[in-house]
Structure 1
Amino acid sequence: MCFRLLGHLRYVSAGITTEELNQVFIRSCRMSQDIGQNQNRVYKLVLTGGPCGGKTTGQARLSTFFENLGWKVYRSPETALVLMSGGVKFPDLSKDECFTFQKNLIQTMMQIENTFFELAQTCKRDCLVICDRGVMDATAYLPAEDWKRMKEENGWNEVDLRDNRYNQILHMVSAAYGAEDFYTIEGHLTRHEDIDSARKLDSITAQAWVGHPYMDVVDNSTDFEEKLMRMISAVCSRLGLDPGDRLKSNSKKRKFLVAGVPDLLDFPKCEDFTVCHDYLVTPSRKMQARLRKRGKDGVWTYTHTIRRPEINSQSVELRMAVNFKDYQILLAQKDDRHLTINKQRRCFLWNNQYFQMDTYLEPCQEICKGLILLETYTTKTNNLNLPDFLKIEKEVTDDPQYSMFNLSLKDDYKSSLSNIISASEIAD
């Protein structure tokens, strides 16, 4: 079966052994998560957010939900809260002491998390590790020059600490944004922020995670119960789990054609990446497979995605992180009908909405020259608040011409209408 799926003959001709192919197939049939020693799924989730955003309640609800599904759930505690409860007060610390404290906080956080990550690896069940905040949360409270110095001294970089370390980031927006009547600090021993301060903390915390490929922002556009349901649904969606009628989730990707982009100075805080996509050979037109290489400054993450044919009007998309060796093996299966898609991806937050803006780079098809597409996931079907500093030409969500699959298709193959498939069939 795996030979048909991955194109066995094509691999053999490329000098790839059957054993290598089998190992890649086993890993590729998992989602974007680690594989434990017992072939169990290991999913590392960061739950973050502003004050009074529902993080504590959300962690409990997530734990109960996944435990009821038969998963083992580990909860890595908030390291800053543990250390601050030991008598640390920032006003009492000098600048050098603050630097040392923050460095040790991050190192302690990583060690605590690693303990749970290693336990999850040996678990006999699928395992969810919920990190009560993650490494990048700590960087939000560091001056830029201190964070740069800390990275240099410890050999750290954002791609490893942010993108490779965690599978998904969930930011729970503070009630200070959109649910002000429910914002309170009563009953919380360490919370003392007023609404303005809470908004500021929410913003810098969210900005610290900008750039992660799987970041979901859960705002206050609904009541609190529905907010929690949307939070759980976001995790299920990334994992490819079908919760049935237990959750409501009508979030979808929306895509817009951008006609004009301002200078970088007019953007909010953002992160830029180079992204390369390659489509792979599959046994049928209804199945899609692709590779993605994403990174900056020579540090990369690699992702393998397979979208299977629809069953009962539902399609299943499998996504997993792969290492460089697996990436090279899979790249030998590149579909000659498609060109490599090279893009500059800019990630940013705008009014509590997470956006990705892709600028297509040459060499590319004629239609891709100068092409800029803006994407976001949202439950809104109307009145979506788009960045006002961008010149948006039109929405192209359902236009198959702007699917990455069709944009990468070589002109020689576009003459056949059977090659141009609808946007609903695309695994972009």
Structure 2
Amino acid sequence: MLQIEDTFFELGRTCKRDCLIICDRGAMDASAFVTKERWDEIMKENCWNSVELRDNRYNQIIHMVTAAKGAEEFYSTEDHNCRSENVDLARELDSRAAASWVGHPYFDVIDNSTDFEDKIRRMIGSVCHKIGIDTGDRLLKNARKHKFLVEGPLPEDSVFPPFQDFEVVHNYLQSNSPNQVRLRKRGQKGHYSYIHTVRRQNTPGGQVIEVKTQIGHRDYINLLTQKDIAHFTIYKRRRCFIHNNQYFQLDMYEQPSHPRCKGLILLETYSAVDDEQLQQTLPPFLNIKKEVTGNPDYSMYNLSLREDWKTSKKFCRSIIGPETQPNESGENYYQKDRNETSGHAQTQACKTNGYNNKEVMKPTINGKI
């Protein structure tokens, strides 16, 4: 399978036009159908590691949740030559397949909360959103990023569903205001992936656009020479897991950092459901204090500032749209709902290779529709 993928990846690199390569299943899926011990043996025999095989090989992972979870009346083995599992086994295999991809930095779970046509639209919209294709309102499902403040200490690891932990290091680079440029190093067991991100503000329509580019270790080291000394380096331990068909990232800030980051724990997820429904999907084993989506006090850019926020001219009060304004008490407030602002966030993700700077996007779509 990897050789077949590599053939198409190479064809994509030599293509004179931008191209999108979609893989039905991917390398990590095999781990869902063998024991952990056997998978570890396969990885060792082939000199593979999870960061390269899972995180660096594919730009995006989309897990299509089986109809056996939430749409049981539509699950059938009839007219499916390759499908023989009953509902219970289908659910188990689906959970194992999803767990095999936990940890990928761009992992989207498409569940059965809508009808089939909308499920397909959400999947297509997720891909378009990631590669920066403007679809207008044709595929819009109001998915947005949510951030929550979590109070420690965290429960024992055994309380969590299957998870992956990563070392994450962020550095902000010198840039022309109001744009923000940062580097991210992310990995585990000595293997890392590197992302260069440019956050563009004041774009037409008030949009905030993030352009993410996967880079190699040498480019990462070279770009670090442009580090902005006005910011601390941010160190995190990131835990990725799935709960209630929702993909979560739990960021635990680590030292050295500014004292304001000491003990800070933030939970992030993307969702299109309303606040009441979202509350029901949040992990009950975490002590979630409040939602801080859009609150500038919990922006990583502001958290990394060396200067005191009260006197700093670099403190960014506009996180998800127009400038926040002081309320009657003189404190800054923020707008929680992105739909209430003049813009919305968009993300572009591409992998640039050495062939005429062509962009080859390689998502893998995983699971039964």
TM norm. shorter chain > 0.5: yes
Aligned to 1:118: 10
Aligned to 2:303: 407
CA distance in 2 between counterparts of 1:138 and 1:123 reads 29
Q: Does 1:176 align with 2:72?
A: no
Q: What amino acid is the match of 1:131?
A: C
Matches within 5 A, 1:167-316: 167-260=59-152, 261-284=154-177, 286-309=178-201, 310-316=203-209
User: What secondary structure sits across from 1:411 in the alignment?
Assistant: coil
- Contact 2:235/2:255, CA 8 A, preserved across alignment: yes
Choose the corresponding residue for 1:422, options 300, 303, 318: 318
CA distance in 1 between counterparts of 2:228 and 2:196 reads 14
Q: Cα distance, 1:422 vs. partner?
A: 2.6
- Contact 1:279/1:290, CA 8 A, preserved across alignment: yes
CA distance in 1 between counterparts of 2:108 and 2:159 reads 24
CA distance in 2 between counterparts of 1:427 and 1:131 reads 24
Choose the corresponding residue for 1:148, options 17, 27, 40: 40
- Contact 1:278/1:339, CA 8 A, preserved across alignment: yes
Higher helix content, 1 or 2: 1
Q: Deviations for 1:41-82, whole angstroms, at most 9, x for unmatched residues?
A: xxxxxxxxxxxxxxxxxxxxxxxxxxxxxxxxxxxxxxxxxx
Higher strand content, 1 or 2: 2
- How much identity, in percent, do the aligned residues show? 55
Q: Whose RCO is larger (CA < 8 A, sep 6+)?
A: 2
CA distance in 2 between counterparts of 1:119 and 1:389 reads 47
CA distance in 2 between counterparts of 1:293 and 1:374 reads 19
Aligned to 2:283: 387
Choose the corresponding residue for 1:318, options 211, 215, 227: 211
Q: What amino acid is the match of 1:332?
A: T
Q: Does 1:367 align with 2:260?
A: yes
Aligned to 2:351: none
CA distance in 1 between counterparts of 2:3 and 2:291 reads 45
Structure 1 residue ranges, 4+ long, deviating more than 3 angstroms after superposition: 425-428
Name whichever of 401-410 and 380-389 sits farther off. 380-389
Q: Does 1:345 align with 2:241?
A: no
TM-score, normalised relative to structure 1: 0.72
Q: Cα distance, 1:412 vs. partner?
A: 4.2
User: What secondary structure sits across from 1:145 in the alignment?
Assistant: helix
CA distance in 1 between counterparts of 2:312 and 2:107 reads 37
Count of residue pairs brought into register by the alignment: 319
User: What secondary structure sits across from 1:316 in the alignment?
Assistant: strand
- Contact 2:209/2:346, CA 8 A, preserved across alignment: no
Q: Cα distance, 1:417 vs. partner?
A: 5.6
Greater radius of gyration (CA): 1
Q: Cα distance, 1:381 vs. partner?
A: 2.5
CA distance in 2 between counterparts of 1:392 and 1:288 reads 29
TM-score, normalised relative to structure 2: 0.84
Q: Cα distance, 1:129 vs. partner?
A: 0.7
Q: Cα distance, 1:245 vs. partner?
A: 2.9
Gapped regions of structure 2 (runs ≥ 5): 322-344, 348-369
Gapped regions of structure 1 (runs ≥ 5): 1-108
Name whichever of 415-424 and 360-369 sits farther off. 415-424
